[in-house]
Amino acid sequence: MASLIPQHPLGRRLVYELIHLARVGRTALNVGFSPVQPAIGDDPDFASEQGQIQLYAELLALLPFDDDQWRKVSVLEVGAAGGGGLRFLQKRYQPREIIGIELSTVAAWRGRRQGADIRQGDASKLPFPASRFDCVLCIDALSYFHQETFFRELRRVTKPGGRVMLGQGMPGTLDQIQHYFRHFGAMSGLEVESFHDLAAGVRRSIIANARRAQPILRLWPRCLRLRAVENFFMLPGGERFEQWQSGFLRFGVAILRRS
């Protein structure tokens, strides 16, 4: 999806706003994960985007916090979209504090209406003092940011000993993806504590989403199914769908620690 986003700040901001305007009723924006736990699929708060919330569930379970520790931590999510992940985190773990940052004014407004503390802001200059958070998350949004600047900001706002969790779909072998996280982490003063590959669950989610979209696609004129649209929604026949299913794209997850 990042390839569809303009690099110019004004163009990028406009595209983000249009994406979130079009996603009425959706508050999480990621590739999703399957299978979905019944506790999520049957929850009316999350049923409409259950695959996307399941991805949060998979990732948060990897963090080295027990229930008592979760209730003591302050959490920041960068690229929080409309706050679906924040609401799941609050409902499941009840951290002491949880804040989201999102470039889109529409998404931030939508999240606040549903009770999430989401602030409109730029990931390249996070509006928080140094050593502010115990845990910082960025789920399927990392590729939108200038890498060196963003990793420095992640370290700056994380407390010493705190964790940064990054989950991102990217091309390459597992070794290459791990090297990427180690490289930018070391440049900014963050050490990779653990690494995980969630590609299998993401691939299943993409196939499930494509199946659900089939009834709508049958009504959609083929001449209007632009390549960019197929790639954005990861539809069969599109390049991104094939890249995920072939294993060219993987979903790497790194937990980094500020020493």
pTM for this model (two decimals)? 0.89
Instruction: Give the model's pLDDT for residue 250.
Output: 97
Instruction: Give the model's pLDDT for residue 238.
Output: 83
Instruction: Give the model's pLDDT for residue 143.
Output: 85
Q: The domain 2-258 belongs to what CATH superfamily?
A: Vaccinia Virus protein VP39 (3.40.50.150)
Owner of token pair 């072939």: 246
Instruction: Give the model's pLDDT for residue 95.
Output: 98
Instruction: Give the model's pLDDT for residue 27.
Output: 82
Instruction: Give the model's pLDDT for residue 235.
Output: 79
Compute how many other C-beta atoms are within 10 angstroms of the C-beta atom of residue 173.
10
Torsion from C-alpha of 185, 194, 50, 100, nearest 10 degrees: -40
Rounded to whole angstroms, the Cα distance separating 168 from 55 reads 11
Instruction: Give the model's pLDDT for residue 20.
Output: 64
Rounded to whole angstroms, the Cα distance separating 246 from 89 reads 32
Instruction: Give the model's pLDDT for residue 243.
Output: 94
How far the first Cα of the chain sits from its last, in Å, is 33
Whether the Cβ atoms of residue 231 and residue 239 lie closer than 8 Å to each other: yes
Owner of token pair 């690229």: 79
Per-residue pLDDT of the chain (259 residues; tens, 9 = 90+): 444 555 555 666 676 667 666 665 578 889 999 999 999 999 999 999 999 999 999 999 999 999 999 999 999 999 999 999 999 999 999 999 999 999 888 888 888 998 999 999 999 999 999 999 999 999 999 988 899 999 999 999 999 999 999 999 999 999 999 999 999 999 999 999 999 999 999 999 999 988 877 666 666 666 555 566 666 678 787 888 999 999 999 999 999 999 8
Instruction: Give the model's pLDDT for residue 1.
Output: 45
